[in-house]
Chains A and B, each alone.
Chain A
Amino acid sequence: MKKLFSVTAKLNSKQRILISIFSFIIPLLIWSLISYVPYIWHPKVEVTHIGDVSYFSEGMLIDREVFDSEVETALSQSLEVPRGNPANPVYLPAPHEVAVALYTAFTTEPKRRNEKWLHESLWDSIQVIFWGFFISSLIGIPLGILAGTYDVFSKLFEPFIEFFRYLPAPAFGALAVAILGIHEAPKIAIIFIGTFFQQVLVVSNTTRKLDPSLLEAAMTLGAKRMSLLFRVVIPGIITHLFKDLRILLGWAWTYLIVAELIGTSSGITWFITQQARYKNFDNVFAAIIIIGVIGLTTDLILAQLGKRIFPWEKGRANS
């Protein structure tokens, strides 16, 4: 036990997996406590028997104070007393309800014919993210590397980008719709704006961290401009670059929700807002969890992929 909390000690692989599982179990446990143990929170009462209260109906959720006062009134006037169970508000479904929804959300047919199934909505979202991130990387990574390598490009690009990155991407929503129409294009543009400017700065910063003595060594070995860039700078930063991209991809997801509200609402956000309108909060939670699962899974896959394509990183001290 003492060992677990020693500052420098590293956990062994079994402990690490166990504790990683705990990091998911703890929030789930808190959620279950709030959902299943009556009198922990439960600010509402679900009516099971309406008694003589005229406006109650079965299954209705009533604030606990209101319910209690109705019980008192009924008692004092010797009317039939309403009965009910403590309940949580409709926006906090219990874990098992969400678990069921995780399955049924995929199998439930859309309410209207022109609406999309959940998996179709998800696929739309993934495409928007992919294109936004891809176009951003296509331009952002080369610019970042140039800015990190040559002072000229650093001074040419970075001051403006530094300014632009403070402009919130969603603020360009209306403009994007005006220019690009109401379908996918403005959404991709928002993801692009949200990612690109950070990306250039992050990549240029990473490039600058390359050990300058590697460049000097390469120069004494006869490397000139282009080969310095392609044979030293790029391979020298690529592992860090890959880690940066994994983090930036996470940011791209945060812009997705805003992006999908622009123009015609679409994708997973459309699904979430739609389900919230129907008060199917179990589906809302299910959709949010699915986003998390997709994010975490892509990140894990990319991490594994990284180990594959950068063999020199294996067993190297994390630096």
Chain B
Amino acid sequence: MTNLELPSYLQQSASVKDRFERLKNRPVSLQVKNLQKEFLTPQGSKVTALNNINFETYKREFVCVIGPSGCGKSTLIRILAGLETPTSGEVLIDGKAVHGPGPDRGMVFQGYTLFPWLTVKKNVMFGLEMSGQGRISSEQDALQWIDLVGLTKFANSYPHQLSGGMKQRVAIARALANQPRVLLMDEPFGALDAQTRAKMQSYLHEIWKNIDITILFITHDLDEAIYLADRVLVLKAHPGEVQEVIEVPVPQPRSPDQLLSPEFLATKKRLEELIHPPEEDMTINEDHLNMVRMVSVDNDVDSVF
């Protein structure tokens, strides 16, 4: 990181401070209490993937979860989705404990997981039909959601005819069509190229602003986390524990010009410190390869510098 004079990431402007004040007065939409997850390895020893996780998100808040590999962030979101059961602890949505997957939580996966045998429209209709809504009204609803993600022209296309970004937009529309309370997103843009990714981040913010939805978004990209989130939940690995919950001091609404603002850089510096702590043992430098010169002496280009 640069050693420019950066403000502390804890320093918030008056309007940001005021916004967080109001945000924390909203009702709690998702609450995680003393969540514990242990696995048995094939060798029979016990591994703690998540240890005593506690946090809550407020209504219509955007929370990013970030952490080094092995911190159990995927396990966490799978438990929230109901795809895995915790060893102990509780997950509450609007105060009600959840058991198993349910339509109150939508999920967008990293792999696109669209049903390849259904058209875009039928994919979006899937959840609506599962909830018992009739064919005609679910078709109408689906078309609205498809319009919202800008894919009306592709309503009758099959997933394999779409690009990665378009597939993920369909996946978002499909998850939102059920009108869940919370949208869980597991590194949804991880497989996209940088440009598409930036576009998708703006789309997502646009959707979030206009819909009554709380978003919990997993990423390993620091910029993405800061750019998207109201608050960032930082996990640490072995065992997975909440290390810090950072209130992002970058004012809303966000725009790409903020990527170089002092608040942004200060937050990024803090995240860097948390996720890649300075190495204690400096004797082993893994970045340096044990190379000898393998270029012949009379090579046309003697040095690359």
A interface vs B, CB < 8 Å?
211, 213-214, 216-224, 227, 231-232, 235-236, 238-239, 310-312, 315-317
Contacts and interface: CB of A to CB of B under 8 A. Distances in A.
B115 to A, nearest CB: 6
Interface in B100-128: 100-103, 105-107, 109, 111, 113, 115-118, 126-127
A167 to B, nearest CB: 35
B130 A227 contact: yes
A315 B160 CA distance: 8
B117 A238 contact: yes
Contacts of B159: 312
Contact of A232 (B82, B106, B115, B160): B115
**A interface, over-half SS:** helix
A316 B105 CA distance: 31
A311 B156 CA distance: 12
A312 B131 contact: no
Given A231-B126, A315-B160, A316-B160, A220 B107 contact: yes
Contact of A214 (B81, B113, B161): B113
Of A217, A227, A312, A317, most B-chain CB atoms within 10 Å: A217
B175 interface: yes
Query: How many B residues touch the partner, as a band?
Result: 20 to 34
Contact of B103 (A216, A222, A232, A310): A222
A230 to B, nearest CB: 12
Contacts of B106: 220-221
Given A236-B115, A312-B118, 11 more contacts: A211-B113, A217-B113, A217-B115, A218-B130, A219-B100, A220-B82, A221-B106, A222-B178, A231-B130, A310-B117, A312-B158
A220 B117 contact: no
Nearest to A234: B117
B113 A223 contact: no
A312 B116 CA distance: 7
Interface of B: 81-83, 100-103, 105-107, 109, 111, 113, 115-118, 126-127, 130-131, 158-161, 174-175, 178, 184
Nearest to A218: B126
23 contacts: A211-B113, A213-B111, A214-B115, A216-B81, A217-B109, A217-B113, A220-B82, A220-B106, A220-B175, A221-B130, A221-B174, A221-B178, A222-B102, A231-B130, A235-B115, A239-B117, A312-B158, A312-B159, A315-B160, A315-B161, A316-B116, A316-B158, A317-B160
B109 A213 contact: yes
Quick one: which of B101, B103, B118, B131 has the most chain A CB within 10 A? B101
B113 A222 contact: no
Contacts of A317: 160
A240 to B, nearest CB: 12
A239 B131 CA distance: 27
Nearest to B100: A219
A311 B158 contact: yes
A220 B115 contact: no
B127 A221 contact: yes
A318 to B, nearest CB: 12
A235 B117 contact: yes
B44 to A, nearest CB: 21
Contacts of B105: 220
Nearest to A235: B117
A214 B161 CA distance: 18
Nearest to A213: B113
Nearest to A310: B117
A235 B82 CA distance: 24
Contacts of B174: 221
Given A231-B126, A311-B158, A316-B160, A219 B101 contact: yes
Nearest to B83: A216
Nearest to A216: B83
A222 B101 CA distance: 7
Contacts of A221: 103, 106, 126-127, 130, 174-175, 178
Q: Which of B111, B131, B160, B178 has the most CB of A within 10 A?
A: B160
A258 to B, nearest CB: 38
Given A216-B109, A312-B160, A222 B115 contact: no
Nearest to A223: B130
